[in-house]
Structure 1
Amino acid sequence: MRAAGAVALAALALTLAGCAAAPAAGDPAAGSGEPVVVRVNDPGNQGPLAVAKKTGELAEAFAEVGAELEWVDGEYAFTANVPLFNAGQLDVANAAFAPIAGATAKGLPVKIVSVQRREVLTENAGIVAAPGSGIETIEDLVGRRVAVNAGGKGEYLLLDALEQVGIPFDAVERVALQPSDGVAAFASGQIDAWSTFSDYFAQAARTGTVLATERSLDAVDDNVYAFRSELIDAHPEIGVAFVETLQELLDRQHEDPEAFLNVFEKSGPTALVGDAYENELRELQGRYEVHVPGPADAERLQRVLDLFRRAGVIQTDLDPWDLLADLDG
């Protein structure tokens, strides 16, 4: 985080320090003396929260503001975790502007607590044509089937790419598949192309043709962490503790990215090896600016909302500020 952001967070932390011991009215822990339980999506074997899980530092940060951390086995993609949020089994998950917009439009009560903006946009997300499809450009997608995680980053990237070259949204068939289901569909030729991210994109790019990346599109779909609205509205101090810890972790990740890979297992099904390891290492070497949401984020989120509205992904106009947490309490 830049110095100004760190100062702002420190000021917020001091302001909210007196709030930690007093759960808000209506909170399940109010008056019980029990800590507020915060259910966070398990990070698996890679990245800053994997390190935080191993070291216990996020649990310690939560404990300092009267909260108890519980890790929940969820999916990597936020869109696939919506059922867990709806069932009250998950409170915090990694996401991006697009899936938060899509989920909020369907009534999911979540708010963005932190924004992680990479100084140089990633090339680890984008659109890949399947081998043997004959697709070489975005224009070649007309009349073809493209897998996307509906209402999420995959759908946003495809719509953005189509709009940039003047192709009507309905000229391409969007096939709704969660990333975990897209692997087999891409490999078997059930789809002509795949708009996806992270290791799913890297896997597809090894055999397919990359048509566009988040960087080439100059996309505005920033990475975020989202909290259940009820939780963060009642306990903004927990959000501040989370963002402060994430900032420290991402600073360390930039300095020593290999320490954030294969955190728990060096071999086996969750371990990255070979090209997958090198690809993720390049991603983790990037520097991220971490901050609580502000006016610039509202403007970028508005652009995502507008694109989804034009494409019919969402049916109503949303105010971006309603999707951003107010950590001033």
Structure 2
Amino acid sequence: MNPVNRVTRISRPLSSALVLAALLATAACGGNSEAASGGSSSRVTLTIGDQAKNLQTLFNTSGALKGTSYNVKWAEFEGAAPLFQAVQAGAADTSYAADLPTLQALAGGVPVKAVGALHNDGTHTGIVVRDDSSVRSVKDLKGKKVVVSSAKGSIAEYLLAHVLQQAGLSYDDVKVQYLLPTDAQAAFTSGKVEAWATFGVYKAVAEQQGGRLLVNGADGRVSGYGFIGASEKALADKGKKAAIADYLRRLDTALAWSQKHPDDYAKAIQQNNGASAEVAKKLVSQANGDLLPVGPQVIDAVQKVGDTMHGIGVLTPNPTVADHVDTSLIKE
């Protein structure tokens, strides 16, 4: 079984220099996985980027990472923005994020390629309002402050922009504030935030703790696509590229396991992520299904997301998705 270490989570976006320093320091504090196992110094170490322990919980419960020929380290973050900063700093080899955060990273010059696509029904993303709010429809958001998690260019922001557009409103009709999910959750729970555009476990917990779902990402309100990315530096390394290809195969196995064992997966989320039984079951029902190649259908759908966000000034420049994919690792 491969040894696994974790890079300490970063709770707020930092400058690239600070990110690099912090990550190198925490990696040193965490120890070296090769040294801890007594393994060969020539053994490849793959540092897998994750958000809110989503992938780590899936892999640990399914056992799909057992027996790798490479070491694994986990780089855990609560949002996509600090995760991509880690990729840029060389402190993570892979990324795990929805479509718009990936586009935002590409627009910012992060040297990452989309190597696999994930898909879900969009219901994991939503705009939640406090139960006592007067907001009953998207049109009622006009003039309101809406908190978006986590940083500029998140999947939650695309949902907000898209549903405002569908309601005949402009993005300037609301006052957007960006907060990382844990900060936003505290503000929402305390009543300081009336409307919150969020995703995943944060959305599920908000609904459980007095929130009312205004709208979710189903029915095409979000693309439903996310990406596993790999840094260009890792892809240029023969050993790491082989490890990434193997990691992707194992992720496909883990996803298949989760479909067949929803109750076991929910229990693991409850235990490892601190979620209630109700929230854990909801997360499983909204989870990603298959791991897909980054083909034309995926590229076209995500490019439309980029075009929409570029049109309202959130995404600049607008990356050409097809220029930032590596289709050699996953085939149909």
* Structure 2 length-normalised TM: 0.77
- Residues 43 and 50, structure 1, Cα contact 8 Å, conserved in 2: no
Match of 1:40 in 2: 48
Match of 1:167 in 2: 169
Aligned-CA RMSD value = 2.6
Alpha-carbon distance in 2 for matches of 1:123, 1:42: 20
Match of 1:15 in 2: none
Q: CA deviation at 1:250?
A: 0.9
SS at match of 1:60: coil
Match of 1:327 in 2: 328
Q: 1:219 to 1:79 in 2, by over 3 A?
A: same
Alpha-carbon distance in 1 for matches of 2:200, 2:305: 20
- Equivalent positions of 1:85-164 (< 5 A) are 85-118=87-120, 121-148=121-148, 149=150, 150-164=152-166
Could you tell me which amino acid in structure 2 is paired with residue 315 of structure 1? T
Alpha-carbon distance in 2 for matches of 1:278, 1:328: 32
Match of 1:19 in 2: none
Could you tell me which amino acid in structure 2 is paired with residue 313 of structure 1? V
Query: How big is each residue's C-alpha offset from its partner over 1:151-186, in whole Å with a ceiling of 9 and x where there is no partner?
Result: 111111111111112211111111111112110121
Q: Gaps spanning 5+ residues in structure 1: where?
A: 1-31
Query: How big is each residue's C-alpha offset from its partner over 1:18-44, in whole Å with a ceiling of 9 and x where there is no partner?
Result: xxxxxxxxxxxxxx9823321113576
- Aligned residue among 187, 190, 195 for 1:188: 190
Q: CA deviation at 1:265?
A: 7.4
Alpha-carbon distance in 2 for matches of 1:135, 1:252: 40
- Residues 50 and 96, structure 2, Cα contact 8 Å, conserved in 1: no
Could you tell me which amino acid in structure 2 is paired with residue 169 of structure 1? Y
Could you tell me which amino acid in structure 1 is paired with residue 116 of structure 2? S
SS at match of 2:291: strand
Match of 1:68 in 2: 71
Q: Which stretch shows the higher mean deviation, 86-95 or 296-305?
A: 86-95
- Equivalent positions of 1:171-320 (< 5 A) are 171-206=173-208, 207-235=210-238, 236-263=241-268, 266=271, 270-284=273-287, 288-320=289-321
- Residues 243 and 291, structure 1, Cα contact 8 Å, conserved in 2: no
Q: CA deviation at 1:274?
A: 3.4
Q: CA deviation at 1:141?
A: 0.7
Q: CA deviation at 1:278?
A: 2.9
Alpha-carbon distance in 1 for matches of 2:204, 2:174: 23
Alpha-carbon distance in 1 for matches of 2:177, 2:190: 15
Alpha-carbon distance in 1 for matches of 2:295, 2:222: 18
Greater relative contact order (Cα < 8 A, sep 6+): 1
Q: CA deviation at 1:247?
A: 1.1
Query: How big is each residue's C-alpha offset from its partner over 1:179-237, in whole Å with a ceiling of 9 and x where there is no partner?
Result: 12110121223322111111111122232221211114442141221221221244443
* Structure 1 length-normalised TM: 0.78
- Residues 270 and 277, structure 2, Cα contact 8 Å, conserved in 1: no
Q: 1:273 to 1:191 in 2, by over 3 A?
A: closer
Match of 2:24 in 1: none
Q: 1:265 to 1:170 in 2, by over 3 A?
A: closer
- Residues 62 and 257, structure 2, Cα contact 8 Å, conserved in 1: no
Alpha-carbon distance in 2 for matches of 1:279, 1:56: 22
Q: CA deviation at 1:243?
A: 1.9
Could you tell me which amino acid in structure 1 is paired with residue 245 of structure 2? V
SS at match of 2:196: strand
Q: CA deviation at 1:264?
A: 8.4
Q: 1:151 to 1:100 in 2, by over 3 A?
A: same
Alpha-carbon distance in 2 for matches of 1:264, 1:314: 33
Alpha-carbon distance in 1 for matches of 2:177, 2:236: 36
SS at match of 1:315: coil
User: How many aligned residue pairs are there?
Assistant: 286
Q: 1:324 to 1:221 in 2, by over 3 A?
A: farther
Q: 1:316 to 1:283 in 2, by over 3 A?
A: closer
Match of 1:28 in 2: none
Q: CA deviation at 1:302?
A: 0.5
